[in-house]
Amino acid sequence: MKILMAASEAVPYAKTGGLADAVSALAIALAKLGHEVRIVIPRYYSINRDKLTKLEGALGVPVGGGEEWSAIYTARLPGAPPKNPISVFFIDHENFFGRDGIYGIPAEPDFLDNPRRFTFFSHAVFQLCRKLSWYPDVLHAHDWPTALVPVLLKFGQRTGEFAKTISVLTIHNLGYQGIYSKDNYYYTRLGWNVFFEAGLDDWNMMNFLKAGINCADKLNTVSPNYARETQTQAHGFRLDGMLRYRSADYSGILNGIDTDVWNPAKDTFIPQPYSIKNMAGKAKAKEALQRAFELPGDPQVPVIGMVTRLTEQKGVGALFGPSYGSAWSICRDMNIQFVLLGTGEAWCENEVRSLSSRLSNFKARIGYSEDLSHLVEAGSDFFLMPSRYEPCGLNQLYSLAYGTPPIVRNTGGLADTVENFNQETGTGTGFMFDDLTPNAIYDTTGWAVWAYYNRRSLVEAMRITGMRQNFSWKKSAEKYVELYKSGLNARNSNPF
């Protein structure tokens, strides 16, 4: 099968969150199953052109009232099987992508021209195929930035070589839908009848994700539980009705983890590799973590780690909210050390800085660091992830793989991947709570800390159970193949 991933992020080139990990890892897993996979992303300013190969000629992209021209670069995706390599194509357009930031910068978190940037990119996806004379069976779009791809396929592009192509849209996060003034609509070159028919209309605005959900041949999100939750009013971000309407074509497929990158037995970012058979490296990682965060090197004190975007989705209000957040009382009352690596909303970064200055056992690194994120996963005793909602979540999967039981809220993919600790039977892989309140986070963290000091052998057994879990991409990629096949079959039996 020929599959083209159209995305706004893909590791190792551009990443703001788990989407980037998921796109590349899924592509690699599909290639390992023998499929022909390519990826197309924008050539952001931060992607060094010197390391890419430029294709001959320019790409003409019809948008708005005219045409934009862009260059195309290409590279081989690292980690893909040598016998079935994956080409990544980069759409290079100075005006749209030749600047700092993927979706925005701190001073302008959502670039004003984002609707035009990603409309341009979605049109470029089709032009790229034409230029390469390579037509995929499956056009796989991810989240709102490429949600227009299924819309363009359905309304206009599905002719000639694209006649048999189907579209699949993966929702990594329903909270970001790409809602903009319909003044930008002319840029899509679609007619006003399509505006309503495709479902772009959203209270007189234009909504990219809503239209993608309406038009894609098949839809999925990144865990079965989030697929159910998003069809309810509580988690549907106003699109639950639309998702219920499409429920026959909508499913949940759990993300996996890239075990070449996130594997304590091979990790080069930690001082000494470790595995179930020899856990000595974990103690070394804890030592290194305490040193990196300038905490006393005490092996007996449990370290609670966090790596996160500091946004409401991640439950940071209940944890760091000024005066009511529980991080303060957790650090004041419990004999623990707390390390945080993250960036995000300004109020939260400020609050975190203020906590670091007031508490000797709370240390934070405001910033993005791949190396440190591995050390936090490996060196911590517990990993905290109190998400408000979580489509899948990769960090809790990494922490399980590194023998660091996660403390999570019972929501989305967290509920699908973590089993709550049962201190009677000694079973479970993490600690879970239902309500997102400062008290619930406090109590559940307290429970984990209590278990650490009083049921140590059970906690050690729990680490091993976590490390034994199998979250390989292979299983998930097989499910995507089934989804692609069911879309292609449905289309072949009903081509119009």
Judged by the rule CB under 6 A, the positions of this chain that interact with ligand GLC are 17-19, 22, 172-173, 222, 255, 390-394, 413
Q: Which is nearer to ligand GLC, 72 or 174 (CB)?
A: 174
CB within 8 Å of 232: residues ≥ 6 apart: 240
Decide: 46 and 61 in contact? Cβ < 8 Å. Answer: no
Nearer to ligand GLC, 20 or 289 (CB): 20
Take residue 114 and report the two structure tokens written for it.
């984002």
Pick 317 or 393: Cβ nearer ligand ADP: 393
| Residue 50: C-alpha distances to residues 10, 12, 43, 92, 299 (Å) | 18, 15, 12, 13, 46
Phi, psi of 144 (to 5 degrees): -60, -35
Out of 199, 393, 403, 438, name the contact with ligand ADP by CB under 6 A: 393
Asked if 343 is part of the footprint of ligand ADP (rule: CB under 6 A), the reply reads yes
Q: Which does 309 bind (CB under 5 to 8 A by kind): ligand ADP, ligand GLC, none?
A: ligand ADP
Residue 368 binds: one of ligand GLC, ligand ADP, none (C-beta under 5 to 8 A by kind): ligand ADP
Alpha-carbon gap, residue 188 to 156, rounded angstroms: 11
Piece of the chain touching ligand ADP by CB under 6 A; list 40-48, 140-148, 297-305, 368-376: 368-376
Strand partners, 340: 306, 364
Q: Which is nearer to ligand ADP, 308 or 380 (CB)?
A: 308
Residue 448 binds which entry of ligand GLC, ligand ADP, none, with Cβ cut-offs from 5 to 8 Å by kind?
A: none
Length of the chain: 496
Partner whose binding site includes residue 182, from ligand ADP, ligand GLC, none (CB under 5 to 8 Å by kind): none
**What is the closest distance, in whole angstroms, from the C-beta atom of residue 413 to ligand GLC in the complex?**
6
Helix (H) or strand (E) holding 27: helix 18-32
Range 14-43, binding ligand ADP (CB under 6 A): 17-19, 21
Rounded-to-integer distance, Cα 213 and Cα 193, Å = 18
Under a CB-based contact definition with an 8 Å cutoff, are residues 286 and 358 in contact? no
Residue 394 engages ligand ADP in binding (rule: CB under 6 A): yes
Using CA atoms, how far residue 389 sits from 159, 312, 408, 436, 467, in Å, is 39, 9, 11, 10, 24
Please give the residue whose beta carbon sits closest to ligand ADP in the complex: 18
**Segment holding 441, helix H or strand E:** helix 438-454
Q: How far is the CB of 140 from ligand ADP (least distance, A)?
A: 18
Which of the stretches 27-35, 43-51, 127-135, 389-397 binds ligand ADP when contact is defined by CB under 6 A? 389-397
Query: Quick one: what does residue 307 bind among ligand ADP, ligand GLC, none, with the CB cut-off 5 to 8 Å set by partner type?
Result: ligand ADP
Cβ neighbours, 10 Å, residue 322: 13
Sole binder of ligand ADP in the list 108, 183, 370, 434 (CB under 6 A): 370
Q: Which does 373 bind (CB under 5 to 8 A by kind): ligand GLC, ligand ADP, none?
A: ligand ADP
Q: Which is nearer to ligand GLC, 24 or 167 (CB)?
A: 24
Asked whether the beta carbons of 236 and 210 are under 8 A apart, the reply is: no
CB-neighbour burial class of residue 413 (10 A; exposed 0-12, middle 13-18, buried 19+): buried
Span of 83-91, 189-197, 337-345, 427-435 interacting with ligand ADP by CB under 6 A? 337-345
The Cα–Cα gap between 139 and 165 comes to 7
Interface contacts to ligand ADP, rule CB under 6 A? 17-19, 21, 307-309, 341-343, 368-370, 373, 392-395
